[in-house]
Amino acid sequence: MTREVWYAAYGSNLHVDRLAYYLLGGRPPEATREYPGSREPRMPSASVPVELAGAVYFATESPVWTGGRAFYDPEAPGRVLARAHLLTAVQFSDLAAQEMYREPGADLDLGPVLRDGRAACGEGRYETLVHPGMLDGRPLLTFTAPWRMDEVEHTVPSAGYLRHLAAGLLATGAWDEDAVTAYLAARPGAAGHWTAERIAALLE
Protein backbone atom coordinates (compact mmCIF):
# COMPACT_ATOMS: atom_id res chain seq x y z
CA MET A 1 0.00 0.00 0.00
CA THR A 2 1.23 3.47 -0.86
CA ARG A 3 2.48 5.00 2.39
CA GLU A 4 1.88 8.69 1.59
CA VAL A 5 -0.44 10.43 -0.86
CA TRP A 6 -1.31 14.00 -1.70
CA TYR A 7 -4.98 14.71 -1.09
CA ALA A 8 -6.06 17.34 -3.62
CA ALA A 9 -8.71 19.50 -1.91
CA TYR A 10 -10.85 21.75 -4.11
CA GLY A 11 -13.80 22.41 -1.77
CA SER A 12 -14.17 23.11 1.94
CA ASN A 13 -10.99 21.19 2.78
CA LEU A 14 -8.95 23.84 1.00
CA HIS A 15 -8.98 25.39 4.47
CA VAL A 16 -6.80 23.48 6.94
CA ASP A 17 -9.05 24.50 9.84
CA ARG A 18 -11.87 22.54 8.24
CA LEU A 19 -9.63 19.63 7.27
CA ALA A 20 -8.57 19.33 10.91
CA TYR A 21 -11.97 17.96 11.92
CA TYR A 22 -11.59 15.02 9.53
CA LEU A 23 -8.11 14.28 10.85
CA LEU A 24 -8.33 15.16 14.55
CA GLY A 25 -12.06 14.77 15.12
CA GLY A 26 -14.62 17.18 16.53
CA ARG A 27 -17.56 19.26 15.38
CA PRO A 28 -17.07 22.34 13.16
CA PRO A 29 -18.83 25.49 14.41
CA GLU A 30 -21.36 25.48 11.55
CA ALA A 31 -22.05 21.73 11.58
CA THR A 32 -24.46 19.47 13.43
CA ARG A 33 -22.31 16.41 12.82
CA GLU A 34 -19.44 15.17 14.97
CA TYR A 35 -16.46 13.84 13.01
CA PRO A 36 -14.59 10.88 14.57
CA GLY A 37 -11.29 11.83 12.93
CA SER A 38 -8.52 9.58 11.68
CA ARG A 39 -6.76 6.59 13.20
CA GLU A 40 -3.62 8.70 12.73
CA PRO A 41 -4.78 11.99 14.28
CA ARG A 42 -2.31 14.59 13.10
CA MET A 43 -2.26 17.41 10.59
CA PRO A 44 -0.79 17.11 7.08
CA SER A 45 2.99 17.06 6.94
CA ALA A 46 2.80 19.59 4.08
CA SER A 47 0.19 21.63 2.19
CA VAL A 48 0.96 23.15 -1.21
CA PRO A 49 -1.02 24.89 -3.97
CA VAL A 50 -1.66 22.88 -7.12
CA GLU A 51 -3.53 23.31 -10.39
CA LEU A 52 -5.40 20.34 -11.83
CA ALA A 53 -6.79 19.71 -15.28
CA GLY A 54 -10.59 19.70 -15.31
CA ALA A 55 -13.31 21.84 -13.77
CA VAL A 56 -15.00 22.50 -10.44
CA TYR A 57 -18.73 23.15 -10.38
CA PHE A 58 -21.46 23.50 -7.74
CA ALA A 59 -24.33 21.04 -7.48
CA THR A 60 -26.70 19.29 -5.04
CA GLU A 61 -27.54 20.87 -1.66
CA SER A 62 -25.13 21.00 1.25
CA PRO A 63 -26.82 20.32 4.61
CA VAL A 64 -23.99 22.20 6.34
CA TRP A 65 -23.41 25.23 4.13
CA THR A 66 -26.79 25.29 2.34
CA GLY A 67 -26.62 25.92 -1.38
CA GLY A 68 -24.48 24.05 -3.87
CA ARG A 69 -21.28 22.21 -2.94
CA ALA A 70 -18.15 21.78 -5.00
CA PHE A 71 -17.51 18.79 -7.24
CA TYR A 72 -14.63 18.00 -9.58
CA ASP A 73 -14.94 16.78 -13.17
CA PRO A 74 -11.45 15.74 -14.32
CA GLU A 75 -12.66 15.27 -17.90
CA ALA A 76 -14.13 18.75 -18.35
CA PRO A 77 -12.01 21.44 -20.02
CA GLY A 78 -10.36 24.01 -17.81
CA ARG A 79 -8.18 24.23 -14.73
CA VAL A 80 -8.85 23.77 -11.05
CA LEU A 81 -7.23 25.75 -8.26
CA ALA A 82 -6.59 23.29 -5.45
CA ARG A 83 -4.53 22.63 -2.37
CA ALA A 84 -2.65 19.37 -1.93
CA HIS A 85 -2.27 18.05 1.61
CA LEU A 86 0.34 15.36 2.24
CA LEU A 87 -1.36 12.58 4.19
CA THR A 88 -0.65 8.98 5.00
CA ALA A 89 -2.75 6.47 3.08
CA VAL A 90 -4.49 5.66 6.38
CA GLN A 91 -5.42 9.31 6.89
CA PHE A 92 -6.70 9.58 3.32
CA SER A 93 -8.78 6.42 3.78
CA ASP A 94 -10.33 7.78 6.98
CA LEU A 95 -10.93 11.21 5.45
CA ALA A 96 -12.64 9.68 2.43
CA ALA A 97 -14.79 7.47 4.65
CA GLN A 98 -16.10 10.48 6.57
CA GLU A 99 -16.81 12.37 3.34
CA MET A 100 -18.76 9.28 2.22
CA TYR A 101 -20.75 9.28 5.50
CA ARG A 102 -19.06 6.06 6.61
CA GLU A 103 -17.21 5.19 9.78
CA PRO A 104 -13.43 5.44 9.36
CA GLY A 105 -11.26 2.47 10.17
CA ALA A 106 -10.77 0.49 6.97
CA ASP A 107 -7.95 1.03 4.49
CA LEU A 108 -9.05 1.86 0.97
CA ASP A 109 -7.73 -0.32 -1.83
CA LEU A 110 -5.95 2.37 -3.83
CA GLY A 111 -4.76 -0.08 -6.50
CA PRO A 112 -7.70 0.46 -8.89
CA VAL A 113 -7.60 4.28 -8.81
CA LEU A 114 -3.80 4.36 -9.14
CA ARG A 115 -4.01 1.98 -12.08
CA ASP A 116 -7.06 3.36 -13.90
CA GLY A 117 -7.18 6.99 -12.76
CA ARG A 118 -10.71 6.56 -11.42
CA ALA A 119 -12.45 4.07 -9.11
CA ALA A 120 -15.95 3.89 -7.66
CA CYS A 121 -16.37 3.12 -3.96
CA GLY A 122 -20.14 3.57 -4.25
CA GLU A 123 -22.75 5.69 -6.01
CA GLY A 124 -22.77 8.59 -3.55
CA ARG A 125 -21.77 12.18 -4.19
CA TYR A 126 -18.18 11.84 -2.93
CA GLU A 127 -17.70 8.12 -3.48
CA THR A 128 -15.66 8.24 -6.70
CA LEU A 129 -11.87 8.33 -6.28
CA VAL A 130 -9.82 10.22 -8.85
CA HIS A 131 -6.06 10.18 -9.47
CA PRO A 132 -5.29 13.39 -11.42
CA GLY A 133 -1.49 13.03 -11.44
CA MET A 134 1.68 12.86 -9.40
CA LEU A 135 3.43 15.41 -7.20
CA ASP A 136 7.00 14.99 -5.95
CA GLY A 137 6.88 11.28 -6.72
CA ARG A 138 3.67 10.66 -4.76
CA PRO A 139 0.15 10.20 -6.17
CA LEU A 140 -2.39 13.00 -6.10
CA LEU A 141 -5.81 11.69 -5.07
CA THR A 142 -9.21 13.20 -4.49
CA PHE A 143 -12.87 12.22 -4.58
CA THR A 144 -15.92 13.50 -6.38
CA ALA A 145 -19.33 12.50 -7.69
CA PRO A 146 -19.82 9.71 -10.27
CA TRP A 147 -21.52 12.01 -12.78
CA ARG A 148 -20.00 14.48 -15.23
CA MET A 149 -20.42 18.23 -14.88
CA ASP A 150 -22.99 18.41 -17.69
CA GLU A 151 -25.05 15.53 -16.31
CA VAL A 152 -26.37 17.28 -13.21
CA GLU A 153 -28.28 20.45 -12.42
CA HIS A 154 -26.02 23.15 -11.03
CA THR A 155 -26.83 24.80 -7.70
CA VAL A 156 -25.94 28.29 -6.49
CA PRO A 157 -23.43 28.16 -3.58
CA SER A 158 -24.03 30.11 -0.39
CA ALA A 159 -22.13 33.20 0.69
CA GLY A 160 -20.59 31.35 3.63
CA TYR A 161 -19.33 28.53 1.44
CA LEU A 162 -17.80 30.88 -1.13
CA ARG A 163 -16.13 32.90 1.62
CA HIS A 164 -14.66 29.69 3.04
CA LEU A 165 -13.37 28.50 -0.35
CA ALA A 166 -11.89 31.90 -1.14
CA ALA A 167 -10.12 32.05 2.23
CA GLY A 168 -8.67 28.57 1.70
CA LEU A 169 -7.31 29.47 -1.73
CA LEU A 170 -5.88 32.77 -0.53
CA ALA A 171 -4.16 31.02 2.38
CA THR A 172 -1.98 29.11 -0.08
CA GLY A 173 -0.31 32.37 -1.14
CA ALA A 174 -0.31 31.21 -4.76
CA TRP A 175 -3.15 33.36 -6.09
CA ASP A 176 -4.20 36.90 -5.26
CA GLU A 177 -7.70 38.03 -4.42
CA ASP A 178 -8.55 39.07 -7.98
CA ALA A 179 -7.58 35.65 -9.34
CA VAL A 180 -9.43 33.74 -6.62
CA THR A 181 -12.68 35.72 -6.82
CA ALA A 182 -12.71 35.62 -10.63
CA TYR A 183 -12.11 31.87 -10.55
CA LEU A 184 -14.95 31.19 -8.11
CA ALA A 185 -17.38 33.52 -9.88
CA ALA A 186 -16.83 31.61 -13.14
CA ARG A 187 -17.63 28.17 -11.70
CA PRO A 188 -20.85 26.61 -13.02
CA GLY A 189 -23.48 27.13 -10.38
CA ALA A 190 -21.93 30.42 -9.26
CA ALA A 191 -21.65 31.95 -12.75
CA GLY A 192 -24.50 34.34 -13.44
CA HIS A 193 -25.38 34.57 -9.75
CA TRP A 194 -22.13 35.63 -8.07
CA THR A 195 -19.69 38.20 -9.45
CA ALA A 196 -16.04 38.50 -8.50
CA GLU A 197 -16.86 41.83 -6.84
CA ARG A 198 -19.58 40.32 -4.66
CA ILE A 199 -17.29 37.46 -3.61
CA ALA A 200 -14.52 39.94 -2.79
CA ALA A 201 -16.98 41.84 -0.58
CA LEU A 202 -17.52 38.66 1.45
CA LEU A 203 -13.84 38.76 2.43
CA GLU A 204 -13.97 42.27 3.87
Burial (Cβ within 10 Å: 0-12, 13-18, ≥19) of residue 163 = middle
76 confidence band (pLDDT: 50, 70, 90)? very high
Contacts of 135 (CB under 8 A, 6+ apart): 6, 48, 50, 84
Q: Which CATH number fits domain 4-202: 3.30.1120.130, 2.40.50.140, 3.10.490.10, 3.30.565.10?
A: 3.10.490.10
Mean pLDDT of 70-88: 98
Lowest mean pLDDT among 27-41, 66-80, 150-164: 27-41
Give me the pLDDT at residue 2, please: 73
CA–CA distance, 44 with 55 (Å, rounded to integer): 25
> H or E segment at 20?
helix 16-24
The 10 Å CB-count burial string (b at 16+, else e) for 126-147 is bbbbbbbeebeeebbbbbbbbe
CA distance 122 to 124: 6
**Count of other CB atoms within 10 angstroms of residue 64:** 14
Question: Rounded distance, CA 71 to CA 153, Å?
Answer: 12
Q: What is the pLDDT of residue 4?
A: 97
pTM, to two decimals: 0.95
pLDDT of residue 94: 98
Which percentage of the chain shows pLDDT scores above 70? 100
